[in-house]
Structure 1
Amino acid sequence: MNKALLMCLLILPGHAIALVIDSSKPIEISANMVVIDERKNISTYIGKASITQGSLILNAEIIQLFSNQQSVIKIIAKGTHKQLAHYQQNQPNQSRFIEARALNITYLIEQELVHLKGKAHLVQGFDSFSGGTLDYDIKNDKIITSMSKDGTQRVRFKIKL
């Protein structure tokens, strides 16, 4: 097995990224290039990076994983204006999966919070929300969105009753 891949898997314990229902599934990672900084506990996947574990799918031009020696604590996915970063995962309290796109997606694992910044868009079930920034609190099933600082991306939402 490739040394870099083995090190990536050691940094990514199975329970660290996904929800409990996905935690027993294998983690699959692909990218054009991988940079692992063991001193800083950061692994960076560059070029059409993709991480999947069970129902969790994360795609971006660059994905960075931050760990604290035991597990991954934060993921940052950076997209481009042509290809936004993409997050998708089944949620136990939703009939359909959650899907999000933005220029930057930050997933705070312990807090169960997904933060979208820049062209933020989230689909929850049959409802959709967009704005300059958007926070999705997974644990409390709460969405907070606001317009961009320059006012060009106002808050929009569509709810199906």
Structure 2
Amino acid sequence: MSRHLKLLGCLLLALPGLAAALESDRRQPIHVRADWAEMDNRSGVSTYRGNVVLDQGTLHMEADLLKVYRSNDELDRLEAEGRPVRFRQRPEGATADVEGEALRLDYRVSEDRLHLRGAAWVQQGGDRFSGERIDYDIVQSRVQASGQDNGGGGRVHAVIQPRTEGEKKP
């Protein structure tokens, strides 16, 4: 197995509970605060600018720009940009939040996919995974990462903390 694939596997160990947290958080209302907002009910797109803060259940996100896409009265996609976009969420049963940041975040709710672009990193407890691009398939618990946004030639970096006997992962 290549070193690159081993590093990707390590991130999976750090993020096992994210899917459970997302499912329970989806049943909560979304609260958005920003300096400016525009809602287009016809297109189903809401745009928020300036000191944007989104909270839904345990999910907390901060960005400079947030677009919320709705389809058939359901949340379909979140796109966020920032210097950087920051997020954190508490997986169900975990003792530590999953935290991360990137210059762009694209969460495809209907596809259960999270895409981070630009100086991206994700961390839970002391375990951390970083690269220029991180794609996470929540249902499959599959992560793909690259050190360059075009998917070639870059490096990813993982930090995996040792577990002591009997210690539960965060």
Q: TM-score, normalized by length of structure 2?
A: 0.73
Q: Kindly report which structure 2 residues correspond to 1:56-135, keeping only aligned pairs within 5 A, or say none.
A: 56-80=59-83, 84-92=84-92, 94-135=94-135
Q: Is the 8 A contact 2:118 2:149 kept in 1?
A: no
The answer to whether the aligner puts 1:54 opposite 2:57 as a matched pair is: yes
Q: CA RMSD in A?
A: 2.2
Deviations 1:95-123 (A, max 9, x none): 42211100000111122221100011111
Shift in CA distance, 149/114, structure 1 to aligned 2, threshold 3 Å? closer
Higher relative contact order (CA 8 A, sep 6+): 2
Q: 2:36 aligns with which of 19, 27, 33?
A: 33
* Counterpart residue number, 1:157: 158
Which structure shows the higher helix fraction? 2
Query: Which sections of structure 1, spanning at least 5 residues, go unmatched?
Result: 1-17
Displacement of 1:56 = 0.6
Shift of 1:75: 0.1
Residue deviations 1:12-67, cap 9 Å, x none?
xxxxxx83322444432100000112222100110010110110111100010011
Identity across matched positions, percent: 30
Task: Tell me how far apart the structure 2 counterparts of residues 146 and 133 of structure 1 sit (CA, whole Å).
Answer: 5
TM-score (norm 1): 0.77
Cα deviation code 1:70-90 (max 9, x no counterpart):
21110001002xxx0012112
Which amino acid counterpart does residue 157 of structure 1 have in structure 2?
Answer: A
Q: Report if aligned partners of 2:133, 2:149 keep a CA contact under 8 Å in 1.
A: no
Q: Which amino acid aligns with 1:46?
A: R
- Which residue matches 1:148? 148
How far 1:153 sits from its partner (Å)?
6.0
Distance 2:24 2:149 in 1: 37
Unmatched runs of 5 consecutive residues or more in structure 2: 1-20, 163-170
